């Protein structure tokens, strides 16, 4: 403990704010560099889909005024930042009286539960495999079999997801191919509901775990090779400590530190993967909601959801950063 | 390592390692890494499919309604009654919009590779510039570059790209690559900065500096050759990440609509519920091609890592 100084805390929180600000600003600026504005684009799409729009010029003008698009850009920008900072991106365009923040709140637990858990499982499994691969005492048979578990490493999660649906949902019919729980089941703390959630979550979770595990294993193997060469490992051997103790507390404990940093760095990638995996599995989380926003050209929904994703990922990174000094004593040690 | 050198058991223990090292020395060059070569040939296969394929196959069949619908690939025996019989005119089958899958793959695959290459190339260029300058100049510039790179790396790029491409509907491959490059630079920047920082203090760089070499010379004549394997490994990883992002956007229906892409094919096939209709060739073949690309790039990156970091070779040889 004690590694968490006030200075470090302020720095990390500032970093969090910078990240969120940068992400939202990119989201604001770049679409405006392109010709046209969202309302015109929306009318264009609606007429392209066959709907004849009467008085489209008036509609455009009215909507532009309604969404404040006729204000100068810096006013728009400040309004935009203000509404997002209060976590109130506003009404959904497609489901009008519903607010984006309410829709996001309903879908967030699914995304957080499924992908938080999947990432955790993948991190633990992958690091254990990687450490075992670099560990001299690992039985040869295990060492020969372990790399097979890394076969799917370079395959993107959503592609494996499609394969899994085809094999286990369409072919073998072991698992459902859509949704988060059986229809008509009241969400609650009943065993039946939990069973259904696990049953529906297995395939999407598998798609994430199997594809990301290898990344952790490869990194861990490299770190573990370095660690096993350290003097304190030899000393631990010489002292006659139990091999499992040396492995976990001397080897893994030290080799895993850079992996935790890597976890913070890959967080944004996991969020991206989650969006598409949810879409493939029609899993009722934020990613699938985002896809519905795309289909309905519901710009406030898309923008709001992506803002929440940015904040969520930045928050996750902030938490890892704040925990890091607690697990790595050297950070305290090196401070003056 | 784990046994004390004085123990007699050490001798047989160490032997395999020595053999492995001997074998490694017999290679003329570490660049003849089997993983690197396998990966490279996989990527070349896809490139050749796109370059040579159109010479032998009519790729205009990648357009909508240029072929009969829903034909399975020719090796399918007794397809379900809902599908027509396999047709030698369409060896990989056709999909529900009347496109020939083989032609589709030939047209789409080079596009995917190109997007990845352009985006990763731009990201790499910016990364080299920023990483080198941050590492060499230091001070406030280093702090600025590092802070912004750290912030950008934390932004879920795919999500932001979704917002952008949802607004900007008409997008072509080049613009898409530009957008992707927006998020492709922090990785190489961080890598180069770290390498330059550690390299700056090495003897030969100090030597060059004392000899009066210019900063530019130190960067490109002294440091760059040593950084090449790192750069190449990071580049191939970046290409793969950008192809993944592009495919992801396309699979959500947000890609270029004028020319077919692999992700777009997956999007149409999912929208047409092809998985549940058993039309595996529609989504499976583009995915297979993408998997070949990803695995190839992954092997290239691992191979290059082993070249850059001999320690990894030692473990692998045991």
- Among chain A residues, CA nearest to B5: A234
Check if B180 contacts A (Cβ < 8 Å): no
Query: Across the interface, do B315 and A134 touch by the CB < 8 Å criterion?
Result: yes
Query: Across the interface, do B155 and A310 touch by the CB < 8 Å criterion?
Result: yes
Q: Of the candidates A152, A105, A114, which has an alpha carbon nearest to the alpha carbon of residue A278?
A: A114
Chain-centre distance for alpha carbon A336: 36
Query: Across the interface, do A309 and B312 touch by the CB < 8 Å criterion?
Result: no
Mean pLDDT score of chain A: 84
Check if A179 contacts B (Cβ < 8 Å): no
- Is 90 exceeded by the pLDDT of residue A120? yes
Q: Measured between beta carbons, which residues in chain B are less than 8 angstroms from residue A168?
A: none
Nearest CB to A290 within list B162, B295, B302:
B162
B residues 250-269 closer than 8 Å to A (CB): 251-254, 266
Query: Across the interface, do A134 and B275 touch by the CB < 8 Å criterion?
Result: no
Q: For chains A and B, count residue pairs whose Cβ atoms are closer than 8 Å.
A: 167
Mutate to test the interface with A, among B160, B172, B176 (most CBs of A within 10 A): B160
- Is 80 exceeded by the pLDDT of residue A332? no
Q: Measured between beta carbons, which residues in chain A are less than 8 angstroms from residue B266?
A: 162
A residues 305-334 closer than 8 Å to B (CB): 305-306, 309-310, 313-314, 317
B residues 9-48 closer than 8 Å to A (CB): none
Tell me the whole-structure pTM to 2 decimals: 0.84
Query: Across the interface, do A268 and B2 touch by the CB < 8 Å criterion?
Result: no
Query: Across the interface, do B163 and A310 touch by the CB < 8 Å criterion?
Result: no
> What was the pLDDT predicted at B6?
46
Nearest CB to A279 within list B240, B252, B311:
B252
Nearest CB to B162 within list A15, A295, A306:
A306
Nearest CB to B151 within list A15, A41, A170:
A15
Check if A144 contacts B (Cβ < 8 Å): no
Q: Measured between beta carbons, which residues in chain A are less than 8 angstroms from residue B247?
A: 156
> What was the pLDDT predicted at B123?
94
> What was the pLDDT predicted at A326?
82
Q: What is the pLDDT of residues A299-319, one digit of tens each?
A: 888 889 999 999 999 999 999
Check if A93 contacts B (Cβ < 8 Å): no
The rounded distance, in Å, linking the Cα atoms of B78 and B86 is: 9
Please answer whether residues A277 and A283 qualify as being in contact, where contact means their C-beta atoms are separated by less than 8 angstroms. yes
Three-state secondary structure call for residue B100: strand
Nearest CB to B294 within list A30, A156, A310:
A156
Check if A40 contacts B (Cβ < 8 Å): no
Query: Across the interface, do B315 and A234 touch by the CB < 8 Å criterion?
Result: no
- Among chain A residues, CA nearest to B146: A15
The rounded distance, in Å, linking the Cα atoms of B134 and B126 is: 12
Low-confidence ranges of chain B (pLDDT < 70): 1-28, 169, 310-318
> What was the pLDDT predicted at B4?
46
Q: What is the pLDDT of residues A72-118, one digit of tens each?
A: 788 888 888 888 888 888 787 777 778 888 888 899 999 999 999 99
Chain A: nearest CA to B34, how far in angstroms? 17
- Among chain A residues, CA nearest to B178: A30
Q: Measured between beta carbons, which residues in chain B are less than 8 angstroms from residue A233?
A: 1-2
- Is 90 exceeded by the pLDDT of residue A295? no
Q: What is the pLDDT of residues A219-237, one digit of tens each?
A: 898 888 888 888 998 899 8
The 3-class SS string of chain A reads CCCCCHHHHHHHHHHHHHHHHHHHHHHHHHHHHCCCCHHHHHHHHHHHCCCCCCCHHHHHHHHHHHCCCCCCHHHHHHHHHHHHHCCCCCECCCCCCCEHHHHHHHHHHHHHHHHHHHHHHHHHHHHHHHHHHHCCCCCHHHHHHHHHHHCCCCCCHHHHHHHHHHHHHHHCCCCCCCCCCCCCCCCCCCHHHHHHHHHHHHHHHHHHHHHHHHHHHHHHHHHHHHHHCCHHHHHHHHHCCCHHHHHHHHHHHHHCHHHHHHHHHHHHHHHHHHHHHHHHCCCCCHHHHHHHHHHCCCHHHHHHHHHHHHHHHHHHHHHHHHHHHHHCCHHHHCCC
Q: Of the candidates A167, A168, A169, A161, which has an alpha carbon nearest to the alpha carbon of residue A208?
A: A161
> What was the pLDDT predicted at A15?
93
Q: Which of A6-15, A150-159, A323-332 has the weakest average pLDDT?
A: A323-332
Check if B164 contacts A (Cβ < 8 Å): yes
Q: How confident is the model at residue A172 (pLDDT cuts 50, 70, 90)?
A: confident
> What was the pLDDT predicted at B287?
92
The phi and psi torsions of B100 (rounded to 5 degrees) equal -85, 125
- Among chain B residues, CA nearest to A264: B154
> What was the pLDDT predicted at A42?
64
The rounded distance, in Å, linking the Cα atoms of A108 and A102 is: 10
Task: Look up the ipTM and state it.
Answer: 0.83
Residue A46 contacts by C-beta under 8 Å, 6 or more apart in sequence? A53
pLDDT (average), residues A153-174? 88
B residues 108-147 closer than 8 Å to A (CB): 147
- Is 80 exceeded by the pLDDT of residue A334? no
Check if A241 contacts B (Cβ < 8 Å): no
Mutate to test the interface with B, among A15, A42, A144, A272 (most CBs of B within 10 A): A272
């Amino acid at each position: 403990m004690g590694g968490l100084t006030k200075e470090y805390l302020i720095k990390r929180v500032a970093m969090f704010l910078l990240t969120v600000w940068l992400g939202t600003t990119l989201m604001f600026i770049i679409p405006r560099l392109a010709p046209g504005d969202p309302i015109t684009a929306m009318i264009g799409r609606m007429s392209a889909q066959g709907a004849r729009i009467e008085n489209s010029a008036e509609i455009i003008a009215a909507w532009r005024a309604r969404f404040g698009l006729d204000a100068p850009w810096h006013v728009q920008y400040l309004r935009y930042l203000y509404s997002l900072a209060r976590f109130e991106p506003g009404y959904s365009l497609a489901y009008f009286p519903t607010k984006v923040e309410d829709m996001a709140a309903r879908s967030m637990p699914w995304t957080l539960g499924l992908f938080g858990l999947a990432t955790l499982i993948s991190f633990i499994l992958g690091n254990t495999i990687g450490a075992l691969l670099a560990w001299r005492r690992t039985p040869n048979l295990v060492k020969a079999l372990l790399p097979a578990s890394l076969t799917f490493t370079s395959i993107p999660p959503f592609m494996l997801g499609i394969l899994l649906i085809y094999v286990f949902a369409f072919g073998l019919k072991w698992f459902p191919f859509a949704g988060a729980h059986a229809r008509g089941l009241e969400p609650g703390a009943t065993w039946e509901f939990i069973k259904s959630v696990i049953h529906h979550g297995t395939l999407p979770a598998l798609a994430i775990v199997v594809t990301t595990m290898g990344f952790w294993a490869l990194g861990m193997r490299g770190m573990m090779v370095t660690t096993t060469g350290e003097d304190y490992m030899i000393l631990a051997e010489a002292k006659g400590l139990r091999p499992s103790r040396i492995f976990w507390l001397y080897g893994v404990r030290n080799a895993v530190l850079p992996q935790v940093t890597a976890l913070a760095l890959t967080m944004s990638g996991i969020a991206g993967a989650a969006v598409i995996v949810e879409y493939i599995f029609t899993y009722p989380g934020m990613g699938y909601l985002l896809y519905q926003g795309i289909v309905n050209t519901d710009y406030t929904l898309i923008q709001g959801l992506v803002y929440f994703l940015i904040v969520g990922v930045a928050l996750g990174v902030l938490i890892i950063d704040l925990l890091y000094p607690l697990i790595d004593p050297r950070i305290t040690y090196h401070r003056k | 390592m784990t046994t004390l050198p004085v123990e007699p058991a050490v001798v047989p223990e160490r032997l395999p390692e020595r053999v492995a090292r001997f074998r490694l020395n017999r290679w003329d060059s570490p660049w003849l890494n089997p993983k690197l070569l396998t990966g490279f040939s996989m990527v070349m296969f896809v490139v050749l499919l796109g370059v040579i394929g159109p010479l032998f196959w009519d790729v205009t069949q990648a357009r909508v309604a240029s072929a009969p619908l829903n034909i399975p690939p020719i090796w399918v025996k007794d397809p379900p009654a809902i599908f027509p019989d396999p047709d030698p005119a369409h060896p990989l089958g056709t999909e529900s919009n009347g496109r020939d899958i083989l032609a589709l793959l030939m047209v789409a695959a080079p596009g995917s590779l190109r997007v990845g290459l352009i985006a990763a190339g731009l990201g790499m260029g910016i990364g080299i510039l920023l990483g080198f300058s941050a590492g060499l100049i230091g001070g406030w510039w280093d702090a600025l570059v590092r802070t912004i790179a750290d912030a950008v790396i934390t932004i879920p790029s795919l999500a932001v790209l979704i917002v952008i491409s949802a607004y900007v509907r008409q997008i072509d491959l080049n613009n898409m690559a530009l957008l992707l490059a927006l998020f492709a630079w922090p990785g190489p920047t961080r890598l180069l900065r770290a390498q330059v920082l550690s390299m700056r203090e090495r003897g030969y760089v100090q030597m060059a500096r004392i000899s009066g070499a210019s900063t530019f010379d130190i960067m490109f004549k002294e440091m760059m050759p040593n950084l090449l394997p790192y750069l190449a490994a990071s580049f191939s990883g970046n290409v793969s990440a950008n192809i993944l992002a592009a495919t992801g956007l396309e699979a959500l229906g947000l890609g270029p609509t004028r020319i077919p892409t692999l992700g777009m094919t997956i999007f149409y096939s999912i929208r047409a519920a092809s998985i549940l209709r058993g039309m595996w060739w529609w989504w499976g073949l583009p995915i297979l091609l993408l998997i070949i690309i990803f695995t190839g790039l992954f092997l290239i990156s691992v191979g290059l890592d082993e070249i850059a970091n001999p320690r990894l070779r030692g473990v692998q040889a045991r």
